[in-house]
Amino acid sequence: MTKRLNALAGLLASVFLTLFGLVIVTFLIGRVMPIDPVLAAVGDNAPQEVVERVRQEMGLDQPLVQQFFHYVWQLLHGDLGLSVLTKNPVTSDIARYFPATLELATAAVIVAALIGIPLGVWAAVRQGSWVDQTIRVICLAGHSVPVFVLALICLLVFYAFLGIAPGPGRQDIIFQDMVPHVTGLLTVDSLIARDWDAFWDALAHMVQPVCILAYFSMAYITRMTRAFMLDALRGEYVITARAKGLPPRKVIWLHAFPNVSVQLVTVLALTYAGLLEGAVVTETVFSWPGLGQYLTVSLMNADMNPVVGATLLVGLVYVALNLLADALYRQLDPRVR
């Protein structure tokens, strides 16, 4: 019991330290950037006294330490400041943009895992055969074709020529703001509202970007799964399982695969976290109002509060996913319990 409490305390301490580091880094990002947030707010042509007044209002004339405490104080109150560009609080902006990314990333990582893991296992089991080679080529293409090329070709073929896929964006204009906002995930919200037309529309809009993102993630997941499985299949316990007279299917899925699942959790968590950062290029091509777009547009416009806010969120996502992966390790591997 005390052992478990100790482990919990250690975990909390490490989470706290990570978060503290995150706060420091995000604070510094806002200060070391060669961007004057005051000028960004008031514009280049503002008179000197306006610039000075705004500087005082924003507290930027105070010493760094004081500014830092002010920043932490604001964070603790859930205040990330205002966006110059959208004129909204950054928190409400993120609440609007992040669900779009969350929806896309979650769907993509599920699709990628459901296809990538079996493919990787299959490639490892048939190492060196034509199956392995074919899967290798598919994955190589996934690694090397630029996203924007594939995304544009997709739009061109399925939207422009064939007309079987909806165009860019999250939903058709007629469904805009028709579904009450609950989670921000359009598919879930429309299900809650039992609006089937809106649901199918939202789902259809997701198909292309999800497939593109899933393809790239799948390439990585497949390659890693194959490598892990090759290693596991060489294990002595696999010989034992075969010597017991188990059919190959059971040897692979009941004996070799559970031994790679811990490593796969890491791969999946990192993939998911990477997708949650927002896929800037994919989001741009498909006009997807996600976190990646929000972050990029803010950065281009020297709008620092959203940049810091979004960075903080991405950091939090990583911490949360790491915690989740940690908990899963304990579930999957008795040796780390």
Partner 1 sequence: MLVDIQNLRIAFETRTSVFEAVRGVSLNIGTEKLGIVGESGSGKSLTARALMRLLPTNARVTADRLTFDGVDILKADERAMLRIRGKRAGFILQDPKYSLNPVMTIGRQVTEAWRTHKGGGRKEAKEAAIDLLAQVRIREPRRVYDLYPHEVSGGMGQRIMIAMMLAPDPQLLIADEPTSALDATVQAEILRLMEDLVSQRGMGLLLISHDLPLVSHFCDRVAVMYAGRVVEELAAGDLSKAQHPYTRGLLNCLPSLIHPKPRLPVLNRDEAWLKS
For residue 312, how many other CB atoms are within 10 A of its CB? 21
User: How many alpha carbons lie under 13 Å from residue 183 in its C-beta half-sphere?
Assistant: 13
Query: What does the buried/exposed string (b/e) look like for 95-126 if buried means 16 or more CB atoms within 10 Å of the residue's CB?
Result: eebbbbbbbbbbbbbebbbebbbebbbbbbbe
Only one of the segments 158-166, 198-206, 243-251, 316-324 lies at the binding site for partner 1 (rule: CB under 8 A); that segment is 243-251
Minimum Å distance from CB 26 to partner 1?
Answer: 39
CB-wise, 121 or 241, nearer to partner 1?
241
What does the block give as tokens for 22? 């995150």
What does the block give as tokens for 180? 């009450």
Q: In this chain, which of 133, 240, 253, 330 binds partner 1, going by CB under 8 A?
A: 240
Minimum Å distance from CB 321 to partner 1?
Answer: 22
Only one of the segments 24-32, 200-208, 223-231, 233-241 lies at the binding site for partner 1 (rule: CB under 8 A); that segment is 233-241
Q: In this chain, which of 241, 265, 295, 314 binds partner 1, going by CB under 8 A?
A: 241
Only one of the segments 12-20, 29-37, 154-162, 244-252 lies at the binding site for partner 1 (rule: CB under 8 A); that segment is 244-252
CB-wise, 28 or 254, nearer to partner 1?
254
Q: In this chain, which of 239, 253, 287, 330 binds partner 1, going by CB under 8 A?
A: 239
Instruction: Verify binding: residue 249, partner 1, rule CB under 8 A.
Output: no
Q: In this chain, which of 235, 287, 327, 330 binds partner 1, going by CB under 8 A?
A: 235
Among candidate residues 284, 292, 287, the one with its CA nearest the CA of residue 311? 292
CB-wise, 47 or 245, nearer to partner 1?
245
CB-wise, 47 or 128, nearer to partner 1?
128
Instruction: Verify binding: residue 334, partner 1, rule CB under 8 A.
Output: yes
Phi-psi category of residue 177: left, alpha or beta, with phi > 0 → left and psi -120 to 50 → alpha = left
| Distances from the Cα of 37 to the Cα of 27, 59, 151, angstroms | 13, 11, 35
Residue type, 142: G
User: How many alpha carbons lie under 13 Å from residue 214 in its C-beta half-sphere?
Assistant: 20
Total of residues contacting partner 1 (CB under 8 A): 21
Minimum Å distance from CB 326 to partner 1?
Answer: 17
The interface mask with partner 1, positions 154-193, x = CB under 8 A, is: ----------------------------------------
User: How many alpha carbons lie under 13 Å from residue 36 in its C-beta half-sphere?
Assistant: 10
Instruction: Verify binding: residue 12, partner 1, rule CB under 8 A.
Output: no
Q: What is the DSSP secondary-structure string of 162-186?
A: S--S--SSSS-GGGTTTS--SSS-H
Instruction: Verify binding: residue 244, partner 1, rule CB under 8 A.
Output: yes
- CA torsion, points 277, 218, 108, 285, in degrees to nearest 10? 70
The interface mask with partner 1, positions 251-270, x = CB under 8 A, is: ---xx--xx-----------
Instruction: Verify binding: residue 245, partner 1, rule CB under 8 A.
Output: yes
Contact 131, 122 (CB under 8 A): yes
Instruction: Verify binding: residue 246, partner 1, rule CB under 8 A.
Output: yes
Instruction: Verify binding: residue 242, partner 1, rule CB under 8 A.
Output: yes
Burial of 142 by CB count in 10 Å (0-12 exposed, 13-18 middle, 19+ buried)? buried
Write out the residues near partner 1 by the rule CB under 8 A: 235-237, 239-248, 254-255, 258-259, 332-335
